[in-house]
Amino acid sequence: MLTLSDATVTFSAPGGPLVRAVDGVTLAIPAGQFVVVVGTNGSGKSTLLGAIAGTVALDGGRIELAGHDITRWSEHRRAALVGRVFQDPRAGTAGSLTVLENIAVAARRGLPAGLGWATSRALREEAAERLGRIVPGLEGRLDQPIGSLSGGQRQIVTLVMATWRRPELLLLDEHTAALDPAAADRVIQATAEIVRARSLTALMVTHSLAQAASLGDRLLLVHRGRIALDLTGPAKRRLTPDTIADRFDRLRRADQLDDAAARTLAATYR
């Protein structure tokens, strides 16, 4: 269970106006729910994800996860509860380490690091089994630097790493945006499988309206730092890429109306 209460993040560009990237968001995500987040560019969806992951500090409000108030927890401390996959496969893996060494680091997520051996025969066998099940052939590449894998394979390994130990929350930050369409499809398939098989609580930001329509149990549309649309159940299942695009259009038109109204008001009271 993830709860955000009146979460606020404010940015100020030097000399520019204050921008509320996340504007008093209150949200409850029950355990086991797969939530898809869409939004316009600059809507604040990535900042929202960063606030949950701990890369962006809140200016106000609270975040609770699995019974812990994690509002003041550092990014690495939150990692004990949160698994993450980044947009860039290079950001979620250490390119010069082997596939197995990367998995070894992931296998200790949330556990202290000490002077025991990082890799073991048991870990190797489990890695071969878990990777080979998703991408046949990958089990034979455990000793190669992870940088030698293709972007799609690397992202699937990142996904396996993020969920190696069961996370209370899986954060996926546009994790297929940097991949070619075929690789993106494979990663999405693997994502859906892993989330379903292990009944994970997941929050996935995406640019793809097709993914937003077909995946998950719930859709959040973020606009100007707020949740403009929150659909679950039958309403979520009825969504198509077109109906989501239509919602975006309506929000944009409303913005234009707001801007026009603001200009008119400003002209009137000058």
Partner 1 sequence: MITLLSTWTFGLALGFVALGVYVSYKLFSFPDITTDGSFTLGAVVTAVLLSAGVDPALATLGGMGAGALAGSTTGLLHAVLGVEPLLAGILVTTALASVNLVVLGRSNVPLTGLTTLFDRAAAGLGPAIAASGCNSATADEAARMLFALACVATACGLLYLFFRTTLGTAMRAGGDTRSMARALGRDTGTLTIAGLAIANSATALAGGLVAQYQRFADVQMGIGMVVWGMASVFLGAALAGPARLGGALLAAAAGSVAFRLLVATALRAGLDPDWLKAATAIVVLGALVGPRLLARARPAPAVR
What residue ranges bind partner 1 (CB under 8 A)?
Answer: 53, 74-77, 79-80, 83-84, 86, 90-97, 101-102, 104-106, 108-111, 113-119, 161-162
Residues in the chain: 270
- Residue keyed to tokens 């949200």: 27
* Helix pair angle (181-197, 121-134), 10° resolution: 120
Separation CA 87–CA 38 (nearest Å): 14
Task: State the angle between helix axes of 99-107 and 151-162 in degrees (0 to 180), rounded to the nearest 10.
Answer: 20
**171, β-bridge pairs:** 84, 203
Distance in angstroms (rounded) separating the CA atoms of residues 156 and 172: 12
Q: Does residue 99 contact residue 141 with C-beta atoms inside 8 Å?
A: yes
Q: What does each C-alpha distance from 24 to 154, 168, 232 come to in angstroms?
A: 36, 23, 21
- Report the distance separating Cα 176 and Cα 34, nearest Å: 17
- Helix H or strand E segment including 234: helix 233-237
